[in-house]
């Protein structure tokens, strides 16, 4: 075989490989555009054996004998829609109705000379939790643009009801961070072997909405028709799944929050607020071990807020005019949470008989503090809590769970502990794949 024939053969093989690769890419991403419909939801009844009075912490001695109160709730009802346009382009949406949504009506009041009145018949929230366009370049790189979930912490990354045993989302993370945390921004994510990474560019939180009971939980909200974005922030998550049944994850967030509001103030050098940034830094570790017999999940979260004393003073001095949406309480310089839950599938040993049915007996422990005070501020001791609970999750089908839970919120000795029970039903799944 002479060199010309060899060159021709190499060229033919090269062209064949190029065309084969292009054909495979085209077939994998664009041959079958697809509509995806799914969602999840929860219906809950709970009875709290303690007072719900707003003064139960400041005057705890007055509420030691309270009989408690019951509630029914629809914590979340979510519709998810997605469509694959092909050629690597897809869209996804998630519309969430929290606590039944908002019901408003106009009624004609016969008792008031036939006047029309607009009434709110039911409290709740309707939120567009996700709305994004994605371009996939392959397994290693995907660019998502629009309204996206911020996967910092375990719960934000796994917020559907089949990813935790309790009736409500785990309390610690749901207290100190936005949950489910969703922002409008950019996300670059992909896989490399057993690793998954995600990097996001987002608007920063708003320190005017921070408070003592929830640290930065409300900071991603906006009472306006738009989200202030004077400061930008970054979120990162890395997952490792190289060990069978085990996932290990690290996530974090950093961004400035001071003056990130509808009106910015240019403070002079003589002002105490000059140079304040209100940098929010969050670091989180979480894991999950799951096989047919047992499931164990846990997390540790730590957050730090710079200039917490200045932000606390500024928030306390904000106007109290009617309609002001801001907090008037101090905010901690730190917040933290640690939790673990474990469940045993009592039907795992009979899987050949019961099929996909599962019955978990679980226990959970959560400890968190939403207010570690800055210098010059007194501690808010009721903000540090422990929550102990146990219960069952029965799955007649993989998509449906009947849950029951009993537990107690343990506070420091000068306060009353808060026992509770809850039962409910949840579902999570897709109608087509």
- Other CB atoms within a 10 A radius of the CB of residue 370 amount to 27
Per-residue model confidence as pLDDT tens digits over 211-225 = 999 999 999 988 788
Least confident of 5-14, 100-109, 121-130, 364-373: 5-14
Return the pLDDT at 15. 43
As a whole number of angstroms, the distance between CA 201 and CA 9 comes to 48
Name residue, tokens 């017999």: 293
pLDDT(187) > 80: yes
Q: What is the mean pLDDT of residues 28-46?
A: 80
3-state secondary structure of 348: helix
Quote the strand ranges of 110-194, DSSP E.
115-122, 125-138, 141-149, 182-192
- Other CB atoms within a 10 A radius of the CB of residue 47 amount to 14
Return the pLDDT at 117. 57
- How far does CA 290 lie from the centroid of its chain? 21
27 membership: H or E segment, kind and range: helix 3-30
Per-residue model confidence as pLDDT tens digits over 302-341 = 999 999 999 999 888 776 555 667 778 899 999 999 999 9
Return the pLDDT at 204. 96
| Confidence band of 29 (pLDDT split at 50, 70, 90) | very low
| Confidence band of 115 (pLDDT split at 50, 70, 90) | low
- How far does CA 334 lie from the centroid of its chain? 19
Per-residue model confidence as pLDDT tens digits over 60-75 = 888 888 789 999 999 9
End-to-end alpha-carbon separation of the chain, Å? 52
Tokens (6 digits) for 395: 């799955």
Per-residue model confidence as pLDDT tens digits over 89-109 = 999 999 999 887 776 655 554
pLDDT(230) > 70: yes
Return the pLDDT at 128. 87
pLDDT(3) > 50: no
pLDDT(403) > 50: yes
Closest CA to 87 of 149, 29, 130: 29
Return the pLDDT at 33. 55
pLDDT(347) > 50: yes
Average pLDDT over the chain, rounded to whole?
Answer: 88
Return the pLDDT at 329. 87
CA distances from 414 to 274, 337, 428 (A): 40, 22, 41
Q: What is the mean pLDDT of residues 414-427?
A: 96
Q: What is the mean pLDDT of residues 240-261?
A: 96
Q: Is 260 within 8 Å of 223 (Cβ atoms)?
A: no
Closest CA to 281 of 237, 330, 233, 238: 233
pLDDT(7) > 60: no
Q: What is the mean pLDDT of residues 51-68?
A: 87
- Other CB atoms within a 10 A radius of the CB of residue 340 amount to 15
Handedness of CA 315, 321, 326, 328 (dihedral sign): positive
Per-residue model confidence as pLDDT tens digits over 350-360 = 988 999 999 99
pLDDT(112) > 50: no
Q: Which domains does the chain have, with CATH numbers?
A: 36-100+119-321+329-430 (2.40.160.10)
Per-residue model confidence as pLDDT tens digits over 259-302 = 998 877 888 888 888 899 999 999 999 999 999 999 999 999 99
pLDDT(348) > 90: yes
CA distances from 9 to 5, 12, 390 (A): 6, 5, 69
């Amino acid at each position: 075989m002479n060199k010309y024939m060899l060159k021709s053969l190499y060229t033919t093989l090269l062209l064949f490989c190029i065309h084969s690769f292009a054909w495979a890419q085209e077939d994998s991403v664009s041959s079958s555009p697809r509509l995806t419909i799914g969602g999840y939801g929860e219906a809950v009844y709970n009875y709290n054996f303690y007072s719900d009075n707003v003064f139960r912490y400041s005057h705890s001695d007055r509420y030691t004998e309270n009989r408690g109160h019951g509630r029914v709730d629809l914590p979340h009802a979510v519709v998810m829609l997605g469509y694959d346009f092909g050629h690597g382009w897809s869209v996804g949406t998630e519309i969430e109705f929290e606590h039944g949504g908002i019901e408003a009506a106009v009624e004609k009041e016969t008792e008031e000379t036939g006047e029309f009145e607009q009434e709110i018949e039911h409290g709740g929230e309707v939120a567009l939790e996700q709305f994004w366009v994605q371009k996939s370049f392959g397994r290693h790189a995907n660019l998502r643009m629009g309204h996206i979930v911020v996967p910092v912490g375990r719960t934000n990354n796994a917020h559907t009801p089949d990813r935790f045993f309790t009736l409500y989302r785990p309390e610690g993370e749901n207290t100190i961070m936005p949950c489910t945390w969703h922002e409008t921004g950019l996300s670059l994510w992909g896989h490399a072997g057993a690793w998954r990474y995600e990097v996001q560019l987002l608007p920063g939180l708003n320190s005017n909405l921070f408070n003592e009971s929830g640290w930065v939980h409300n900071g991603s909200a906006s009472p306006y028709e738009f989200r202030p974005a004077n400061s930008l922030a970054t979120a990162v998550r890395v997952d490792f799944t190289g060990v069978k049944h085990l996932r290990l994850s690290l996530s974090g967030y950093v961004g400035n929050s001071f003056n990130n509001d509808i009106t910015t103030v240019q403070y002079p050098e003589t002002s105490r607020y000059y140079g304040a940034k209100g940098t929010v830094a969050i670091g989180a570790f979480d894991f999950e071990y799951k096989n047919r017999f047992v499931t164990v999940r846990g997390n540790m979260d730590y957050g730090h807020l710079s200039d917490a004393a200045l932000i606390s003073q500024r928030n306390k001095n904000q106007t109290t005019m009617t309609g002001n949406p801001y907090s008037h309480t101090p905010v901690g310089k730190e917040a933290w949470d640690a939790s673990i839950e474990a469940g045993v599938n009592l039907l795992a040993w009979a899987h050949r008989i019961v099929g996909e049915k599962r019955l978990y007996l679980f226990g959970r422990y959560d400890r968190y503090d939403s207010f570690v005070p800055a210098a010059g501020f007194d501690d808010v001791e009721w903000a540090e809590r422990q929550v102990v609970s146990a219960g069952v999750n029965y799955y007649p089908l993989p998509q449906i769970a009947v849950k029951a839970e009993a537990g107690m919120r343990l506070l420091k000795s000068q306060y009353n502990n808060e026992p509770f029970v809850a039962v409910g039903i949840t579902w999570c799944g897709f109608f087509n794949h």
